[in-house]
């Protein structure tokens, strides 16, 4: 009788252990899979001296922020104050790095400068009025959205070259391990890269909701599998 009880208790113990092991395994399985999906929040820089002049300025490192631009930079940091991201990135241009500063300080993260996130180079249109951009500076990028990536801004880049440098920097961001990155970049660069890259582009945004200073675009996806537009808010943060 004692032998039967011992065997029964041993069997029960084995079953309990097996159930516990399965439960532990299920918990690990739920936590372990990693899709690699990224959420990228693009932020246009605050108002720069170039913006206030009304002239196109895509030079590197370019002008810094105006007093209004610094106010906008603080305002966008307040929008990002939950700090639910794992990397802060900016272009080589001074105005994006300055716009990132308040967010960097608030969240205790340094800003990483990425080579390819700068503004679309204006070529022969450098220094021309921003109000004439659609017929000049932006004429080729608009063709990129229509599928003609061979179109070149005179004295500057074509669509293939622009997209590659942006894609290369985003790949680098992924390689650094960032899955929820904030990227401080430029109006043209953000809008055209997003509309060229996402599977659900809304081309009307260029006219109905263009990115003002500190406007924001969020996309999700991966460099390998592609991107989807999550949100687009062209309004200034401040």
Half-sphere exposure (Cβ direction) of 154: Cα atoms closer than 13 Å:
7
The set of catalytic residues is: 45, 119
Integer Cα distance of 18 and 16 in angstroms: 5
Residue 200: other Cβ atoms inside 10 A: 9
DSSP 199: S
Query: What are the CA-CA distances from residue 194 to residues 49, 133, 135, 198, 222 (Å)?
Result: 26, 19, 21, 6, 13
Asked if residues 211 and 190 have their Cβ atoms less than 8 Å apart, the reply is yes
Asked if residues 46 and 65 have their Cβ atoms less than 8 Å apart, the reply is yes
pLDDT for 35 equals: 59
Asked if residues 218 and 42 have their Cβ atoms less than 8 Å apart, the reply is yes
Provide the residue-wise pLDDT of the chain in tens; the chain has 238 residues: 443 344 444 443 443 333 333 333 333 222 223 458 999 999 999 999 999 999 999 999 999 999 999 999 999 999 999 999 999 999 999 999 999 999 999 999 999 999 999 999 999 999 999 999 989 999 999 999 999 999 999 999 999 999 999 999 999 999 999 999 999 999 999 999 999 999 999 999 999 999 999 999 999 999 999 999 999 999 999 7
Cross-sheet strand order for the sheet of 87-90? 111-113, 87-90, 180-185, 38-44, 216-222, 226-233
For the chain, what's the residue count? 238
Report strand pairing: 180-185 vs 87-90: parallel
**Average pLDDT of every residue of the chain:** 88
Asked if residues 94 and 69 have their Cβ atoms less than 8 Å apart, the reply is no
């Amino acid at each position: 009788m004692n032998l039967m009880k011992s065997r029964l208790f041993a069997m029960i113990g084995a079953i309990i252990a097996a159930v516990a092991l399965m439960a532990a395994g299920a918990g690990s399985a739920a936590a372990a899979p990693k899709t690699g999906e990224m959420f990228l929040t693009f932020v246009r820089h605050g108002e720069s001296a170039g913006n206030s002049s009304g002239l196109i300025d895509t030079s590197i490192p370019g002008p810094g922020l105006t007093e209004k631009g610094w106010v906008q930079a603080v305002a966008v940091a307040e929008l990002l104050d939950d700090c639910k991201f794992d990397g802060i990135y900016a272009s080589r241009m001074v105005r994006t790095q300055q716009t990132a500063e308040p967010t960097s300080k608030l969240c205790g993260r340094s800003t990483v400068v990425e080579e390819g996130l700068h503004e679309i180079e204006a070529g022969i249109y450098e220094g021309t009025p921003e109000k004439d951009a659609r017929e000049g500076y932006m004429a080729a990028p608009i063709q990129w959205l229509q599928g003609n990536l061979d179109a070149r801004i005179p004295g500057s880049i074509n669509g293939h070259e622009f997209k590659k440098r942006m894609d290369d920097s985003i790949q680098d961001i992924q390689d650094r391990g960032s899955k929820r990155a904030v990227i401080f970049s430029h109006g043209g660069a953000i809008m055209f890269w997003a509309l060229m890259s996402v599977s659900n582009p809304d081309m009307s945004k260029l006219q109905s909701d263009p990115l003002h200073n500190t406007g924001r675009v969020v996309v999700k996806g991966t460099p390998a599998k592609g991107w989807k537009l999550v949100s687009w808010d062209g309004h200034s943060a401040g």
